[in-house]
């Protein structure tokens, strides 16, 4: 099921208002509404991943509102069409088909590895640019000519983390526990290869089922292997429980994980059991950048809370700015906006200075590079431990 | 790997964590036995039970006993609604089994979406923390959640067994499960029995979800995933065999946990499906234990007819 939300509904309302006003006053014509520069956003509004998806969409909506408030793109309005994917590949295909064939967008933003992969053939076949934001499977870089990511892939942050654990923390024996799906298997393998290549030893490599509710067997195998550090690559719904069971079964080693686990609720769920957990973040935090601080303050003011998965929302906030810059450049040159012209112009611009994630360079191999921020739980709070370039 | 401490730990933790699975399997099996339907609205009842307790304990800060009471009220109300305005009407209209099956799924999805809109999709727990204190018993870690969980599940099963064995309404349920039309001839109101079965199943789910939600995180669709285990246990335990389902739930939990000692952990998730496949193909009626020899009394035990109702034996010969 797909549904229009947010700015699309508002756009329909605005278009209807403009039409009525135009008929009544002979002022703005319906053609003016068609001048809007459209792009698509396909993310989970419902389903198990909606807690992230909804906040990511809200972040993108904030950005579109800010861009339009500041005058739009060379005087034209930026319009975002939002469709629900439920983070489900089949639902994602339906949503993207509609964006490409009905809404005729030249570019769309999407996330979650399963969906990003499933819709890639639609982007390539129709020569429409797919911008993946948030999916971190390294295979995202090989999905075709029209698929790019603005989010660093798992081999960036997990590689940096594995090297840091070995070199800077001095850990020689690591165990890896991972969820047995696309998110876990690829990233766990990256950690294993990097840690081993750095000279460390992976003493346990255990998967758990996405539907599992008990992890005793795997944790006991890890305990027997006597690691110095345990890397967990799961989801926000299962990782706290894995860590809780680890602590209850007497494993008090350092735990590392990745950006999905970087949220305040983890500390609340685990209490003292969360102390020392190290995770990655691929965007600067409020203490690193005044713009990020303003962004987080805005969430506090408007929503009375921090966004779920802060770094992901930062990338989603920045995505419309990247698109607006490419649109602006094409409009300025008088080039018709198509998927192909968008792609060429994006690669020509290459380096973008984005509001809350900073400098972003689109690489020819369809990826980006960013510094990796390592965050640690200390005295019940997330604090920055290191930045790995 | 196979030292006694590890096996003891796996055995103990499996027993503790299957406490809620036993309750879900017994609830599912009870409705299947008495009402003769695969009741996947149980997933909705489980979610409602959890979120009622979550709202009372975690959000409102009230004691667990209040949470349990609120959860029971919510789930019993839901069970009454679903039986009265769902199953009863479908039975009256002689809806096919497949249609009722689809209806139960639809209700569960609908409730999941309603809960999603109300509580969001962030995983939640009954208490604010997931960590329970642990005591070591002969080097086996026993969490302070374990014993109350096992005791709660065992008590619920014992109460149900006593209810079915010794109460009038319990025997009515057995009679209706054997032959609803014949039971009706004996004056048993089978509609009330159907309602009672659904409500008892709901109450078991409430206890099970409080146990589950005080140890694991729950999202609106979690209960649909938990139903897979209940379904497999019911089929492996023998359709219509309530206690077979309970034993199957314990056995499956142990096998699943211990399996990673013998097979690659990546294959662990396949086990349930493998059991389901084997059970359906080779044991469609479930794994049957040898029948216990019945006493003369139990063979001849009869259900006392409802007051004022003539039994077929009372009817004059025509």
CB contact under 8 A, A216 and B121: no
Do A166 and A231 belong together in one domain? Answer: yes
Do A325 and A314 belong together in one domain? Answer: yes
The pLDDT of residue A299 is: 94
Question: Within a 10 A sphere around the Cβ of A68, how many other Cβ atoms?
Answer: 19
Range of the domain at A322: 7-152+291-356
Substitution target from B126, B130, B147, B228 for chain A, most A beta carbons within 10 A: B130
The residue of chain A nearest to residue B121, with distances taken between CA atoms, is A51
For chain A, report the end-to-end CA distance as a whole number of angstroms. 41
Do A170 and A239 belong together in one domain? Answer: yes
Of A359, A357, A368, nearest to A59 by C-alpha is: A357
Res A122 pLDDT > 80: yes
The residue of chain B nearest to residue A235, with distances taken between CA atoms, is B123
Res B80 pLDDT > 90: yes
Can you spell out the DSSP letters for B31-57? HHHHT-S--TTHHHHHHHHHHHHHIII
B12: closest CA of chain A, how far (Å): 10
Of A197, A202, A128, A193, nearest to A172 by C-alpha is: A202
A188 near B CB under 8 A: no
Residues A264-303 have pLDDT tens digits of 788 988 988 999 999 998 888 887 889 999 999 999 999 8
Is the pTM value of this prediction over 0.95?
no
Residue A150 near residue A129, CB atoms below 8 Å = no
H or E element in which residue A331 lies:
helix A310-333
Radius of gyration of chain B measured on its C-alpha atoms: 21
Residues B239-258 have pLDDT tens digits of 888 999 999 999 988 888 88
Do A121 and A214 belong together in one domain? Answer: no
Answer whether residue A365 is part of any domain: no
Q: Flag the least confident range among A19-28, A282-291, B69-78, B89-98.
A: A19-28
Distance in angstroms (rounded) separating the CA atoms of residues B242 and A200: 52
Answer whether residue A311 is part of any domain: yes
DSSP-derived secondary structure letter, A374: E
ipTM passes above 0.85: no
- % of chain B exceeding 90 in pLDDT: 56
The enclosing domain of A89 has a CATH number of: 3.40.50.2300
DSSP-derived secondary structure letter, B126: S
- Indicate the number of domains in chain A: 2
**Angle, vertex CA A6, rays to CA A3 and CA A8, nearest 5:** 70
Q: Which residues of A110-133 are buried (b: 16+ CB within 10 A; e: fewer)?
A: bbbbbbbbbbbebbbebbbbbbbb
Res A14 pLDDT > 50: no
Residue A372 near residue A282, CB atoms below 8 Å = yes
Domain boundaries, chain B: 4-314
Answer whether residue A364 is part of any domain: no
Average pLDDT over residues A250-270: 88
Do A175 and A198 belong together in one domain? Answer: yes
Do A275 and A351 belong together in one domain? Answer: no
SS3 string, B107-124, reads: HHHHHHHHHHHHHCCCCE
Pick the CATH number of B4-314 from 1.10.10, 1.10.3470, 3.40.50, 1.10.150: 1.10.3470
Residues A368-386 have pLDDT tens digits of 888 889 999 999 988 889 9
Q: Which residues lie below 8 Å from residue A121, measured CB to CB, with a gap of 6+?
A: A144
The pLDDT of residue B293 is: 53
Mean of per-residue pLDDT scores for chain B? 87
Res B317 pLDDT > 60: no
Answer whether residue A128 is part of any domain: yes
Answer whether residue A362 is part of any domain: no
The pLDDT of residue A33 is: 46
Do A130 and A228 belong together in one domain? Answer: no
What is the DSSP pairing of strand A107-110 with strand A129-132? parallel
Nearest by CB to A237, which of B123, B257, B259?
B123
What is the CA B42 to chain-centroid distance, rounded?
8
Q: How big is chain A, counted in residues? A: 389
Residue identified by tokens 């990247």 is A322
CA quadruple A378, A382, A386, A388: dihedral, nearest 10: 140
Distance in angstroms (rounded) separating the CA atoms of residues B240 and B247: 13
B165 or A371, which is more confident: B165
Q: How confident is the model at residue A30 (pLDDT cuts 50, 70, 90)?
A: very low
């Amino acid at each position: 099921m797909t549904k229009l939300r947010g700015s699309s509904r508002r756009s329909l309302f605005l278009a209807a208002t403009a039409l009525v006003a135009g008929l009544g006053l002979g002022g703005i014509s319906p053609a003016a509404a068609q001048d809007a520069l459209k792009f698509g956003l396909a993310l989970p509004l419902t389903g198990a991943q909606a807690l992230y998806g909804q906040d990511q969409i809200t972040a993108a909506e904030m950005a579109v509102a800010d861009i339009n408030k500041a005058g739009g793109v060379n005087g034209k309005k930026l319009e975002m069409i939002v469709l629900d994917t439920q983070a489900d590949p089949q639902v994602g295909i339906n949503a993207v088909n509609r964006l490409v064939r009905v809404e005729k967008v030249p570019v769309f933003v999407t996330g979650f590895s399963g969906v990003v992969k499933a819709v890639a053939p639609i982007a390539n076949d129709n020569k429409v640019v797919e911008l993946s934001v948030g999916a971190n499977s390294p295979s995202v870089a090989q999905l075709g000519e029209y698929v790019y990511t603005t989010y660093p892939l798992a081999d960036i942050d997990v590689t940096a983390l594995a090297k840091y654990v070995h070199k800077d923390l001095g850990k020689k024996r690591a165990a890896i526990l991972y969820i047995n799906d696309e998110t876990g298997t690829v990233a766990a393998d990256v950690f294993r290869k990097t840690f081993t290549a750095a000279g460390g030893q992976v003493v346990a490599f255990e998967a758990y089922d996405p539907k599992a509710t008990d992890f005793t067997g795997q944790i006991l195998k890890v305990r027997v292997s006597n690691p110095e550090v345990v890397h967990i690559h799961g989801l926000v719904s299962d990782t706290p429980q894995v860590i809780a069971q680890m602590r209850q079964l007497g494993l008090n080693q350092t735990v590392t994980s990745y950006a999905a686990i970087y949220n305040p609720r983890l500390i609340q769920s685990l209490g003292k059991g969360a102390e020392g957990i190290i995770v990655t973040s691929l965007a600067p935090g409020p203490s690193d950048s005044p713009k990020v601080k303003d962004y987080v303050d805005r969430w506090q003011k408007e929503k009375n809370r921090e966004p779920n998965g802060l770094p992901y929302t930062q990338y989603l906030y920045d995505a419309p700015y990247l698109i607006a810059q490419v649109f602006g450049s094409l409009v300025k040159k008088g080039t018709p906006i198509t998927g192909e012209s968008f792609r060429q112009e994006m690669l020509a611009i290459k380096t973008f200075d984005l509001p809350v994630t900073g400098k972003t360079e689109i690489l020819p191999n369809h990826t980006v590079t960013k510094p990796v921020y390592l965050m640690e739980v200390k005295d019940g709070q997330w604090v920055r431990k290191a930045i790995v370039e | 790997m196979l030292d006694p401490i590890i096996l003891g730990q796996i055995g103990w933790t499996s027993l503790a964590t299957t406490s809620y699975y036993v309750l879900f399997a017994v609830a599912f099996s009870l409705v299947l036995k008495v009402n003769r339907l695969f009741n996947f609205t149980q997933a909705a009842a489980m979610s409602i039970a959890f979120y009622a307790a979550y709202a009372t304990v975690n959000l409102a800060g009230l004691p667990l006993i209040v949470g349990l009471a609120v959860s029971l009220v919510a789930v019993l109300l839901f069970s009454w609604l679903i039986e009265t305005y769902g199953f009863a009407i479908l039975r009256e209209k002689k809806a096919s089994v497949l249609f009722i099956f689809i209806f139960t799924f639809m209700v569960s999805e609908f409730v999941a979406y309603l809960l999603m809109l109300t509580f969001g999709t962030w995983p939640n727990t009954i208490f604010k923390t997931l960590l329970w204190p642990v005591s070591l018993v002969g080097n086996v870690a026993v969490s302070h959640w374990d014993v109350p969980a096992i005791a709660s599940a065992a008590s619920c099963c014992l109460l149900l067994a006593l209810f079915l064995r010794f109460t009038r309404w319990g025997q009515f349920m057995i009679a209706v499960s054997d032959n609803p039309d014949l039971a009706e001839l004996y004056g048993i109101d089978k509609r009330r029995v159907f309602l009672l079965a659904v409500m008892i199943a709901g109450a078991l789910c409430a206890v099970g979800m409080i146990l589950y939600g005080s140890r694991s995180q729950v999202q609106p669709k979690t209960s649909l995933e938990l139903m897979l285990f209940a379904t497999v246990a019911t089929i492996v335990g023998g359709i219509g065999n309530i206690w077979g389902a309970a034993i199957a739930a314990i056995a499956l939990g142990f096998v699943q946990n211990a399996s990673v000692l013998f097979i690659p952990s990546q294959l662990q998730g396949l086990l349930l499906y493998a059991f389901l496949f084997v059970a359906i193909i080779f044991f469609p009626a479930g794994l049957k234990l040898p029948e216990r020899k019945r006493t003369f009394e139990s063979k001849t035990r009869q259900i006392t007819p409802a007051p004022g109702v003539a039994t077929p034996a009372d009817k004059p010969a025509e």
